Amino acid sequence: MPRRYYCDFCDKSFADNPVARKNHMNGTTHQRNRKQHYDSFRDPEILLFEEINKKPCKHFLQSGTCTFFDSCRFSHLREDEKEQLRTQATEIKTKKYKRQDIKKDKNDEDLKTFLQKIESGQKFDQKEGKNIHSGVVIPKYSIPTFLQTVANLPPSLVPPPPDSFLDLELKEWG
Split into its structural domains, the chain has a count of 3
CA dist 114 and 8 (Å) reads: 52
Task: Confirm whether 66 is domain-assigned.
Answer: no
Could you tell me if 14 and 76 lie in one domain?
no
C-alpha Rg value of the chain to the nearest Å = 30
Q: Residues of the chain with pLDDT > 70: what percent?
A: 74
Task: Confirm whether 170 is domain-assigned.
Answer: no
Helix pair 44-53, 79-120: axis angle to 10 deg: 140
**In which domain, by residue range, is 90 found?**
43-58+71-122
Max avg pLDDT among 81-85, 94-98, 108-112, 123-127? 81-85
Query: pLDDT, tens digit, for every residue of 17-59?
Result: 999 999 999 998 899 899 888 888 888 888 888 888 888 888 8
Could you tell me if 98 and 28 lie in one domain?
no
Could you tell me if 130 and 110 lie in one domain?
no
Given this model, what pLDDT does residue 73 score?
A: 86
Could you tell me if 47 and 111 lie in one domain?
yes
Could you tell me if 47 and 25 lie in one domain?
no
Could you tell me if 14 and 48 lie in one domain?
no
* DSSP symbols for the chain: ---EEEETTTTEEEE-SHHHHHHHHHSHHHHHHHHHHHHTTS-HHHHHHHHHHSPBPHHHHHHS--TTGGG-SSB---HHHHHHHHHHHHHHHHHHHHHHHHHHHHHHHHHHHHHHHHHHTPPP-GGGTEEEETTEEEE-----GGGTT-SS--TTTSPPPGGGGTTSPP----
The DSSP bridge partners found for residue 4 are 15
Query: pLDDT, tens digit, for every residue of 115-156?
Result: 777 666 555 444 454 545 455 566 677 888 888 888 888 888
Task: Confirm whether 64 is domain-assigned.
Answer: no
Mean pLDDT (the chain, rounded) = 79
Could you tell me if 88 and 116 lie in one domain?
yes
Task: Confirm whether 8 is domain-assigned.
Answer: yes
